[in-house]
């Protein structure tokens, strides 16, 4: 009789231990699943930020290129306005002073474009 009681108690204790371990395992699985979901969300956010940053950098690089193109056009227009007729009919020359001035204008405009680009890149806007 005592053997049966001891056997029943051991069975109950082992079953209780098994249920407790099963409970702990389920808790660990829930925690692991929650961690996996949080990591997926964090990865998605990081990818979105990286995509936004790449898009922003592409946009400001396009703006820099456009700004430099406008500066080059302004230089060409300046040179066109300062053309002087040459001895041959239909030909024009540009005085060296005008060429030097156009180069200064272009350098100043390009410096302004680069400064704007650098400022926007560092500020992120």
List, for residues 36-82, the tens digit of each pLDDT value.
999 999 999 999 999 999 999 999 999 999 999 999 999 998 888 88
Contact indicator for 75, 102 with CB cutoff of 8 Å? yes
What confidence tier does 85 reach under pLDDT thresholds 50, 70, 90? confident
Give the pLDDT of residue 31. Answer: 97
E strands, the chain, in order: 84-85, 92-93
Which has the closest alpha carbon to 74: 110, 46, 49, 47?
110
Map residue 83 onto helix, strand or coil. Answer: coil
Question: Which residues make beta-bridge pairs with 84?
Answer: 93
* Residues 6 or more apart in contact with residue 103 via CB below 8 angstroms: 75
Give the pLDDT of residue 90. Answer: 66
Report the C-alpha gap between 106 and 109 in whole angstroms.
Answer: 5
Map residue 93 onto helix, strand or coil. Answer: strand
pTM to 2 decimal places: 0.65
Which has the closest alpha carbon to 71: 108, 37, 36, 46?
108
Handedness of CA 87, 89, 91, 95 (dihedral sign): positive
């Amino acid at each position: 009789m005592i053997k049966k009681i001891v056997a029943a108690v051991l069975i109950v204790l082992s079953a209780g231990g098994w249920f407790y371990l099963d409970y702990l395992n389920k808790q660990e699985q829930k925690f692991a699943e929650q961690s996996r979901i949080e990591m997926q969300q964090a990865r998605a956010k990081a990818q979105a930020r990286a995509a936004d940053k790449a898009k922003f950098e592409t946009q400001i690089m396009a703006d820099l290129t456009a700004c430099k193109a406008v500066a080059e056009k302004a230089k060409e227009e300046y040179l066109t306005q300062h053309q002087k007729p040459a001895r041959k009919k239909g030909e024009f020359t540009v005085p060296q002073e005008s060429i030097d001035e156009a180069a200064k204008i272009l350098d100043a405009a390009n410096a302004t474009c680069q400064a704007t680009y650098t400022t926007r890149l560092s500020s992120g806007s």
